[in-house]
Amino acid sequence: MTAQGSPGPLSRAAGDGRPAAPVALVHLGLGNFFRAHQAWYTERAPDAAAWGYGAFVGRGTGLADAMTPQDGHYTLITRAADGDRFEVIGSVSRAHAFDDAEAWAGYFASAGVRAVSITVTEAGYRRGPDGGLDRDDAGVRTDVEALRAGSPGGVRSAPGRLVAGLAARRRADAGPVTLVPCDNLPGNGAVAARVVHDLAEAVDPQLAAWIEESVSTVTTMVDRITPRTTPDDARAVEEATGRADQAPVATEPFSEWVLSGEFPAGRPRWEAAGARFTDDILPFEHRKLWLLNGGHSLLAYAGSLRGHATVAEAVSDDTCRSWLEQWWAEASPHVDLPADDVAAYRAALLERFANPRIRHQLDQIATDGSQKLPVRILPALRRERARGHLPDGAVRVLAAWLCTLRGRGAPVTDARADEIVPLADGPLAEAACRVLECLDPDLAGDRELVLAVTATAAELTGP
């Protein structure tokens, strides 16, 4: 507390006194995950003083409004099962609203900016059924028109914004740059490179050719469970540190970052802060996407149907826990890592999920099932079907999602809700077939699978 007994504000002086680093990194998607993960690794890198972020909110102005009066600072609360640790993070040098197009272009035009990281959710890449850019998406069409007309100010989609920035870099001849997508998609580097290429090609093929030569896109596996901030978090910071923080973020102690690819313009020494660089990232992506994220999706849908609100509540229910173990037993053999490593990861994961002090809401995880299930559940399901197995754990996730779309359990918030919710209506067996078809037409042709999803959905919701 300050001398008057009222909490002091958070500012550069309240951190380690380090002045704001020059902006050498740009981030799109300033939110809690970025602040608990990439910004934290950057803060802990030994060369942090040279690597500040210019970070942009994906939508709206919220966090930029809260962080700017605090000079970009915020408190990271590391919430272990037995207590909290408080750390002031200063790696965000400037926080910007989503529509600050001038600052965005200015950073890209600066040779001092070396890399651009991205957290825009799975849906933010605006992919179509072939995995490339969805050219029929209304937002994509508007952005292509705006960029063709030379007015990037109103561009809103993530691929559109990246192309607008890269066009500014090319005009300024500011040299190579690296894109660092940090969303839960396998091969997120290839995904980001593809949608950026497709959008640039639609605007100006010469720009697309320049991007091909000058932009490196790395692939990353990111992991740290980070729930929404609650008013209690600000109170906890104030009580423990005497500081009034308008934008704290609480996260778990565990953190992992695996990266693969080249940074031709340089990067912070993230490896000295615990990040790992590898040439073979796929097994790490599978381990995390299938076991952690797949487990999360199972609990989000099936746990909500059983009346639970958080991950910790759901895993303390023996039934949910046995469903989780069942899914893990099906997915684990397909993870190409030593069995002992996978077993240790699962054991650690159970503890992480059970951390009662992390209130990770199931409805937050339940969002965008149409984007998440294809990367979290379907790869292992397909591998099991190819072996002639009918994996009950995977079937249960699909069945629970179907029930959710039919109005049971967690509320539906999904990028494809308008299309999918009507498909889930009507007689259960037909609904199961339509919903599976919309995830992957081959699934709807698998009669045994459709019957199993239908029967499990009926069991989950009772008579």
Q: Does 223 bind ligand CS2 (CB under 6 A)?
A: yes
Task: Write the DSSP string, 275-321.
Answer: -EE-S--HHHHHIIIIIIIHHHHHIIIIIHHTT--BHHHHHTSHHHH
Structure tokens at 56: 């942009």
Length of the chain: 463
Binding-site member from 224, 243, 286, 406 for ligand CS2 (CB under 6 A) = 224
Q: Which residue is nearest to ligand CS2 (CB)?
A: 296
194 close to 156: Cβ distance less than 8 angstroms: no
* 227 secondary structure, DSSP code: -
Q: Does 229 bind ligand CS2 (CB under 6 A)?
A: no
Binding-site member from 93, 184, 219, 355 for ligand CS2 (CB under 6 A) = 184
According to CB under 6 A, which residues from 365 to 384 bind ligand CS2?
A: 365, 372
Q: Does 114 bind ligand CS2 (CB under 6 A)?
A: no
Binding-site member from 267, 296, 396, 406 for ligand CS2 (CB under 6 A) = 296
Q: Does 225 bind ligand CS2 (CB under 6 A)?
A: yes
Among residues 229 and 454, whose Cβ is nearest to ligand CS2?
A: 229
Among residues 184 and 456, whose Cβ is nearest to ligand CS2?
A: 184
Among residues 188 and 241, whose Cβ is nearest to ligand CS2?
A: 188
Q: Which one of 221-229, 302-310, 330-338, 394-402 is the stretch in contact with ligand CS2 (CB under 6 A)?
A: 221-229
Chain Cα centroid distance, residue 326? 25
CA distance 310 to 154: 38
Please give the size of the binding site for ligand CS2, defined by CB under 6 A: 9
Q: Which one of 218-226, 325-333, 417-425, 431-439 is the stretch in contact with ligand CS2 (CB under 6 A)?
A: 218-226
CA distance 348 to 209: 45
Among residues 93 and 219, whose Cβ is nearest to ligand CS2?
A: 219
For 113, 174, 191, 337, the CA distances from 214, given in Å and listed in that order, are 14, 10, 17, 34
Measured from the Cβ of residue 402, the count of other Cβ atoms closer than 10 Å reads: 26
Q: Rounded to 5 degrees, what angle do the CA atoms 297, 298, 303 make?
A: 110
* 252 secondary structure, DSSP code: -
334 close to 380: Cβ distance less than 8 angstroms: yes
According to CB under 6 A, which residues from 256 to 295 bind ligand CS2?
A: 293
According to CB under 6 A, which residues from 120 to 179 bind ligand CS2?
A: none
Binding stretches for ligand CS2 (CB under 6 A):
184, 223-225, 293, 296, 364-365, 372
